[in-house]
């Protein structure tokens, strides 16, 4: 079997960023396109997300744990080691 290289299934595992969060819905930019997204917890504009599933034209996402780790290091004033 050949690996899928186009289509919605290629979005799973991809990172994106929330661009709009309103009572009508939440939208994020993923792979250069705008998608409606939903998550188990509230999302905020600017938050980095990871696509976990696709349901129709809506992406199921979770907050990006790498982005959350970086933010906590910024708040604490510490930096991850570069060596």
Return the pLDDT at 67.
Answer: 80
Q: Is the pTM of this model over 0.85?
A: no
Work out whether the CA dihedral 47, 16, 64, 9 comes out positive or negative. Answer: positive
pLDDT of 78 strictly over 80: no
45-61 residue pLDDT tens: 999 999 999 999 999 99
In angstroms, the Cα distances linking 11 to 2, 23, 38, 39, 82 are: 17, 25, 14, 16, 30
């Amino acid at each position: 079997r050949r690996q899928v290289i186009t289509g919605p299934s290629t979005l799973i595992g991809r990172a994106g960023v929330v661009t709009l969060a309103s009572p009508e819905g939440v939208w994020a930019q993923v792979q250069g396109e705008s998608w409606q997204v939903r998550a188990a917890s509230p999302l905020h504009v600017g938050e980095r997300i990871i696509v976990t599933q696709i349901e129709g034209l809506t992406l199921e996402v979770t907050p990006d744990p790498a982005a959350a780790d970086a933010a906590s290091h910024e708040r604490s004033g510490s930096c991850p080691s570069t060596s």
